[in-house]
Structure 1
Amino acid sequence: MSPPIIVVTGMPFEARIAKGDGVHVVCAQNHTLADALEAAIAREGARGLVSFGTAGGLIPGVKPGQWVVAHTVLDMPQQARECATSLAWADALRRAMPGALLADVAGVSAPVVSAGDKAALFRESGAAAADMESHIVARVAQAHGLPFVVARVVIDPAERSLPPAALAGMRSDGSTDILGVLRSLAGNPLQLPALLRVGQDAGRARQAMKHGRRIVSLELGDGFGARAVGI
């Protein structure tokens, strides 16, 4: 049996969309992801790695639900070091998803929350989107000589700042803390309209991910998704 493709996500809802029959899903947060990914490769090997899930938009005008396929990952914690993705995999996904952007993705170690911070990161990097896992996937892939690709859906647009309740609702493992959201809303009810917009944006991103997962499965072959770990 050939080694699996390992699909990497940072949040449990992303892993639930990715998993299915065929490959291995690693779901872990930024600070534990490298160890979890190394352990998965040591156990089962890997044909390649896929960074799959959501990302924050950095280009003004890019709407939630927009797919971004990276040709380069900019490792911002390592002075924006450039890591090229698999040209064959990225081109295959781009052809299969004509509406997807083929652009740089910035890997960051903390969420980019405000519109001002997103604009600053865009000026610094020129990347279309940012996430907290792709640069770690790139590091591990390069260390093992494995092909990798990044397929991410924009969940929050560049022009919009996330309300405090959205961050209060995120546990350290990426799962949702409803009580944290309610506490934040109780302290500042005026953020409710912004929080509802976040929910609408997340719904669009989820639908795009469910559709795009089938495309990624067809293009990369041998199935996409399997039992997930770290959820």
Structure 2
Amino acid sequence: MVSAKAPVTAGGAAEPEAASLPVIAVAGMAFEARIARGDGVDAVFAARADLLERALTAAVARGCAGIISFGTAGGLAPDLEPGALIVADGVDGPLGPVETDNVWSERIAAALAATPLAAKLRRGWLAGVAAPLTGAADKAARHRATGALAVDMESHLAGAIAHAHRLPFAVCRAVVDPAWRTLPPAATAGLRDDGSTAIAPILRELIKQPSQIRPLMQLAADARAARATLVDARRALDQAGALRFSPRVA
């Protein structure tokens, strides 16, 4: 398992050939990776940490210009609504705090701020966790302890690998479940280790406890808001060239 000393800044000056190498987007779920992929951007995804680490390490070995954690996150700051967009200054997780590349993050934030997404945009730190943080009380406690805006399970790993390979690192995440929302067990029941979704376990949860149907429908609405934000953000970053590297981008 990779590790990061606290605090570190991932990245350094990009090599001249970096412009011809892809950026690697790191996600936890298949739909996030589909949004992230595009011209100059490859994507790796998995819900289980060892699978994600293996996939990302292999992608880095093939060559890349930088690593961006791209996808959804759970809200920790109480003022963040579903669909809020975070360009992180760093991630504090099980492997220690890792700062993002300031120059690259500023380019990403500037590209987003030049669009209607500006109203949803926030800067700050993310928290990294090894298991889903689903309870409102747990989210509130993590926010009090860290001051982080949101939480996910992939960014800390992406940051540690970026640091280990001296690659620029950035984070762009959209909030799904707000801080005050507790997720029902059905919300995570269908998530496979590889980041895909199985329907049968979700249905079994709903049959066992039908009271989960309403909160699951609310989560579906939250997820639509987050997905729309990610799609708009990816389009804006592509149009601005914010995911492309020149020799002096980082």
Query: What is the TM-score when the length of structure 2 is the normalising length?
Result: 0.84
Q: Which amino acid counterpart does residue 40 of structure 1 have in structure 2?
A: A
1:92 — aligned with what?
107
| 1:54 paired residue among 72, 76, 86 | 72
Which aligned pairs between 1:160-171 and structure 2 lie closer than 5 A?
160-171=181-192
> What letter matches 2:34 in structure 1?
R
Q: Deviations over 1:162-218 (max 9, x none)?
A: 011112122222222211111111111111110100110011111111000012222
Offset at residue 9 of structure 1 (A): 1.0
Deviation at 1:47, TM superposition (A): 0.8
Say which SS state the counterpart of residue 220 (structure 1) adopts: coil
**Residue number among 185, 210, 214 corresponding to 1:193 in the alignment:** 214
The offset of 1:221, in angstroms, is 4.3
TM-aligned CA deviation for residue 95 of structure 1: 2.1
* Shift of residue 115, structure 1, vs aligned partner: 0.3
From 47, 53, 69, the equivalent of 2:87 is: 69
Tell whether the 8 Å contact from 2:190 to 2:199 is kept in structure 1 after alignment: yes
Cα deviations across residues 91-114 of structure 1 (Å, max 9, x unaligned)?
A: 122222233110101111111010
Return the alpha-carbon distance in structure 2 between the equivalents of residues 153 and 197 of structure 1: 16
Letter paired with 2:223: A
Aligned twin of 2:54: 35
What one-letter code is carried by the residue in structure 2 that aligns with 1:64? P
- What SS class does the counterpart of residue 171 from structure 1 fall into? coil
Q: Aligned partners of 2:60, 2:194: CA distance in 1, in Å? A: 21
Find 2:97's aligned residue among 50, 75, 82. Answer: 82
Q: Of residues 4, 28, 51 in structure 2, which corresponds to 1:10?
A: 28
Mapped to 2, the partners of 1:52 and 1:94 lie a distance apart of 13
| In 1, Cα distance between equivalents of 2:109 and 2:243 | 15
The alignment status of 1:181 with 2:199, answered yes or no, reads: no
Q: In structure 2, what residue type is equivalent to 1:181?
A: I
What is the aligned counterpart of 2:137 among 116, 126, 150?
A: 116
Report the Cα distance in structure 1 between the residues aligned to 2:156 and 2:142, rounded to whole angstroms: 15
Q: Any gaps of 5 or more consecutive residues in structure 2?
A: 1-16, 113-117, 246-250
- Aligned partners of 1:145, 1:222: CA distance in 2, in Å? 17
TM-score by length of 1: 0.90
| Cα drift, residue 7 of structure 1 | 1.0
Residue of structure 2 equivalent to 1:140 = 161
- Measure the CA separation in 2 of the matches of 1:56 and 1:22: 28
What is the rounded CA distance, in whole Å, between the counterparts of 1:216 and 1:112 in structure 2?
A: 29
**Whole-Å Cα distance in 2 between the matches of residues 42 and 137 of structure 1?**
14
- State the distance in 1 between where 2:46 and 2:190 align: 17
Which amino acid in structure 1 is aligned with residue 154 of structure 2? E
**Residue of structure 2 equivalent to 1:228:** none
For residues 87 and 20 of structure 1, what CA distance do their matches in structure 2 show?
23
How high is the sequence identity, in percent, across the aligned residues?
47
Task: Tell me, in whole angstroms, the C-alpha distance in 2 between the residues paired with 1:23 and 1:200.
Answer: 28
- Contact kept in structure 1, 2:108 and 2:243, CA below 8 Å: no
Greater Cα shift, 17-26 or 144-153: 17-26
The amino acid of 1:87's aligned partner reads N
